[in-house]
Amino acid sequence: MKKLYSVPAKAAAVLLLMISLIGMGIGGYYGALALYVGCYNDSASSADPMRFYENVGCWSEVSEYVEHSKEWDEYSKKHAKPSYGMREDYQAYLTDSNLRAVRIEQNNGVETRTPVFGTVISDQYVKHSYHQVSETTGYEIYLNTSLEVNDAFQQSKELFQEVYPARWNYPYLAGASMLIGIISWIFLLVVAGRSAATGEIVFRGFHRIPFDVITVLFVIVISLLAAALDGPWPTDANSMRMAAVLMVADLLTIAVLVMLWGHTAVARIKGKVLLRSTLIGALCIRLWRVLRAGVWHVRAKRNVEKAAKGSGEAVPKIPAWEKARDGLGKINWKHNKITAFFAALGRGIRAAIRQLAELFRHMNVVWKLFGAAILVILLLEWLAVGASYDGGMFLCLVVLDILVFLAVGFFALQLDRLKKGGERLANGDLDYKIPIDHMYWDLQQHAKNLNAISDGMAIAVQKQLKSERMKYELLTNVSHDIKTPLTSIINYVDLLHNEPIESKQAQEYIEVLERQSAKLKKLITDLIDVSKATTGNITVHAERTHAGELLRQCVGEYSERMNGKNLETILTVPEDEPSIYADGRLLWRIFDNLLGNIVKYAMPGTRVYIDLESADNRVIISLRNISRERINISSDELMERFVRGDASRATEGSGLGLSIARSLTELMHGRFGLMVDGDLFKIVLDFDKMEN
């Protein structure tokens, strides 16, 4: 049986049901058109030209033509010389048609036949019908079988010729599709509510909505759809096509709603929760429990009072009272049953109202909005119908429109408040709290969740900062501990240089030891610097600093190393050198790190551009070079600590130079930018300019 409850089986049944609905729609659509043009009449035949026109549209056209013919005859009798405008209007209508009319008058047994408007009735016209308009006057209507004018008759003929050949296929298609749909629906009723995994009854989604709410909504919607079907038939074939589409869609919608209602009803019956899943049933069950507990309370109290009166002891509290109060709360009961009954009834009603409020509060917001929209639409429709007859109803409609406008506007303002709050939180403003006053309950809960997220993020950021601070303190302490023995190693290496050592290999060992100890010292210094810069433990002595002069000195110190790497340095500094507010010692360290990186990673035989320029109260220092190795990582990753542009690590370096330079720049309230474009590597330092 579990195979029947499987998802593929249910999906196949739903697919068959959808196909059957499509088949019923197609068959119903063309069947309605065939019925409209008379394909199912006893004498219907493609060879009978008059059979095309036995429909509402054609008869409406004939009735209108007879009415206009009568109006023209009456007007021409009253006016010997009809006005030019009236004559043109009637002539345009009466002659530009496939119909012609002959007025027949009976006067003392003498019949007079007069063509209306003097029209000529040729052999291609056949008699369509006769219309008696008075005791002595009638009109014979003739139809042009060639149908030279595009009117209801020509449209009916075209529609008849379209649907007549397959007229019997349409009801067969609709019937077969209906049979398949019924079988599929019965299968879905059998498996309704069954879990594919266990076969047990499981209620999800649609089945969890109160059954009486579903029933009321479906009855209202189906009633409106059924009322839409109660109307006159269209008066032309083109309108009939649209009417057939709407009619079929209307009927299919009703069928789908009925099937959905039956599906959930069967599932609830299987789970034995049909009554309990209704709001009215839940209220009745609650009232019954309250009343039963009240009766227990009254009986228990009366029995205890009798027993206590007989023994002369005080009335004790017995478990029965406590049991009654578990479900009711504390109630001050009177001694008579009527008071107890009404007190229990009131308590039950209050409990039921609380349950309904709790149910509505925890309902999905989509269902809330959907239900509210349906109620408002129905109320507006009802008021709109009544407003045409009653001024009071019109006033109620206006008031409801204003209330809906205000409610939607208030809802939109709250959504905008949530949107702006979310944007501020996303931008890192963790101290911002979304105001939750006077908000709808669901939006208020969402705002509380966003505020809770900001609190959690703030705590996480604080923990992260604390962790970073502890790591840097550990690095600083360890670096200081390592620095002391390293200083001793460097000193003893210097002493070994002064000692006469004949072994050439020993001298090479000393040189390696000196080189590596210097490298280790540089690494430890970098670690200490990055720790201090990140935690803000570096003291900044900012003063007026000539950045151009400092830049020339640093480039001059690196000129020998640049020439050794075959790098051509092009330094551009304006004549009126701008000043910046910075610490010259830290600025020198920044230049030292950046030029050291250029020496390590720039491609030999290329140019290095170093520019200093002033613009808009800013001083911009840029360094550009071509990288020797391919840069396969982004600029953001290069700014991380211990990350090097040389992935093979064939060059010396700790990967801390850029990080230290950025931290020192930010300590002096500058901005540090890094851009990578292919092999082009560009550093930009941005400081505030000091006026002279």
Q: Tell me: the pLDDT tens digits for 240-270?
A: 777 777 778 888 888 888 888 888 888 888 8
Task: Give the model's pLDDT for residue 568.
Answer: 92
Task: Give the model's pLDDT for residue 5.
Answer: 67
Q: What is the amino acid identity at position 269? A: I
Determine which helix (DSSP H) or strand (DSSP E) holds 104, and give its type and residue range.
strand 99-107
**Which residue from 49, 33, 46 is spatially nearest to 234, judged by alpha carbons?**
33
Residue 545 has pLDDT above 60, yes or no: yes
Alpha carbons 579 and 689: distance in angstroms, whole number? 6
Instruction: List Cα–Cα distances, 301 to 245, 304, 333, 343, 532, in angstroms.
Output: 70, 5, 10, 16, 79
Token code pair at residue 428:
């890192």
* Angle, CA 429 vertex, CA 424 and CA 432 arms, to 5°: 80
Chain Cα centroid distance, residue 398: 31
| Contact yes or no for 62/143 (Cβ under 8 A) | no
Q: Helix or strand or coil: residue 230?
A: coil
Q: How sure is the predictor about 234, in pLDDT bands with cuts at 50, 70 and 90?
A: low
Task: Give the model's pLDDT for residue 623.
Answer: 93
Residue 154 has pLDDT above 80, yes or no: no
Q: How sure is the predictor about 333, in pLDDT bands with cuts at 50, 70 and 90?
A: very low
| Contact yes or no for 294/341 (Cβ under 8 A) | yes
Residue 609 has pLDDT above 90, yes or no: yes
Residue 340 has pLDDT above 70, yes or no: no
Write down the mean pLDDT value for the chain. 76
Number of neighbours of residue 40 by Cβ within 10 angstroms: 13
Q: What residues contact residue 447 under an 8 Å CB cut-off, 6+ apart?
A: 417, 418, 421, 434, 435, 436, 439
Instruction: List Cα–Cα distances, 226 to 28, 254, 374, 618, 680, in angstroms.
Output: 16, 8, 17, 76, 74
Task: Give the model's pLDDT for residue 611.
Answer: 93
Mean pLDDT for the stretch of residues 437-442: 76
pTM given for the model: 0.41
Q: How sure is the predictor about 66, in pLDDT bands with cuts at 50, 70 and 90?
A: confident
Task: Give the model's pLDDT for residue 496.
Answer: 79
Alpha carbons 106 and 174: distance in angstroms, whole number? 52
DSSP code, position 343:
H
Q: At what angle do helices 279-311 and 211-229 cross, to 10 degrees?
A: 150
Task: Give the model's pLDDT for residue 394.
Answer: 67
Residue 597 has pLDDT above 60, yes or no: yes
Instruction: List Cα–Cα distances, 649 to 71, 530, 556, 601, 679, in angstroms.
Output: 105, 21, 28, 11, 18
Q: How many CA atoms within 13 Å lie on the side-chain side of 236?
A: 9
Q: How many CA atoms within 13 Å lie on the side-chain side of 584?
A: 12
Task: Give the model's pLDDT for residue 433.
Answer: 82
Task: Give the model's pLDDT for residue 651.
Answer: 45
DSSP code, position 566:
T
Mean pLDDT for the stretch of residues 119-140: 79
Chain Cα centroid distance, residue 536: 45
Q: How sure is the predictor about 334, in pLDDT bands with cuts at 50, 70 and 90?
A: very low
Q: What residues contact residue 650 under an 8 Å CB cut-off, 6+ apart?
A: none
Alpha carbons 477 and 380: distance in angstroms, whole number? 76
Alpha carbons 624 and 670: distance in angstroms, whole number? 19
Q: How sure is the predictor about 486, in pLDDT bands with cuts at 50, 70 and 90?
A: confident
Q: Helix or strand or coil: residue 672?
A: strand
Token code pair at residue 118:
């003097």
Q: What residues contact residue 67 under an 8 Å CB cut-off, 6+ apart?
A: none
Mean pLDDT for the stretch of residues 55-66: 72
